[in-house]
Amino acid sequence: MALPPKFKGHRILLTDTSAPTPAGGPEPAHTLEIYLDYVCPYSAKLFNTLHTQLLPALTSRPGAPLQAPLQILFRHQVQPWHPTSTLTHEAGLAVLRLAPTRFYDFSAALFKAQRDFFDVNVVNETRNATYRRLAKIAAESAGVEEDEVYKLLAVPDVPAEDGSLNVGNAVTNDLKTVIKMARLVGIHVSPTVLFDGLVVNEISSGWSVEQWVVWLKKNAV
């Protein structure tokens, strides 16, 4: 599935500079799409392996395993049985709007702090109070202004001018878009990985970086 330009911060492009470039232009990239939920422990495990181990392994020299260009796409998988899934992904979209190049930094920080947003730790606070905590993480990890993030997230406590009450916030439409994108390709749970448009059921959150490297050497050619 295509990546809308406003979501460009979801994309990491990796290339092997030693690979030959066809006369017609740059070689098309393979696409690895990773559907993650910020409050899913298995998503956190997969993201951490990707972010702290696999990416360095793919970009190290000499002997990097990447034989063809590869783009990695972060895909939001909002899951309603995790009530704060919506709120945390809204925070990710707010950071994406304010500082797209720092989206992965924020995601790493949020996955690290994900237990703070599990059910038991949010049940007694208001929605806007949860947003405030998320905005603080964004400021500390992505270099954005806390108040600017909160402004995109906060839900007003008064009706809109037309009297409507389900007013959402400034990133509601972006959230609708990423949810529709996941539904269009039939994603049901997190984490789910697609390679060149097809679900790869064999990839697990428990994979080591070595397993990832072996798989990419075989498939990303």
116-148 pLDDT per residue, tens: 999 999 999 999 999 999 999 999 999 999 999
- Residue 19 is predicted with a pLDDT of 43
**Tens-place pLDDT, residues 181-207:** 999 999 999 999 999 999 999 999 999
Q: Label residue 177 exposed, middle or buried (CB < 10 Å: 0-12, 13-18, 19+).
A: middle
Mapped onto helix, strand or coil, the DSSP state of residue 120 is helix
**Tens-place pLDDT, residues 37-87:** 999 999 999 999 999 999 988 876 555 566 678 899 999 999 999 999 999
What is Dmax (Cα atoms) for the chain?
62
CA dist list (Å): 22 to 28, 60, 64, 218 = 10, 24, 21, 21
- Which residues are within 8 A (CB) of 48 and not within 5 positions of it... i.e. 6 or more apart? 108, 111
Element (H, E) at 11: strand 11-14
pTM: 0.92
Measure the CA–CA gap between 85 and 97, rounded to whole angstroms: 18
Measure the CA–CA gap between 74 and 32, rounded to whole angstroms: 9
Cα angle for residues 11, 16, 21 (degrees, 5° grid):
105
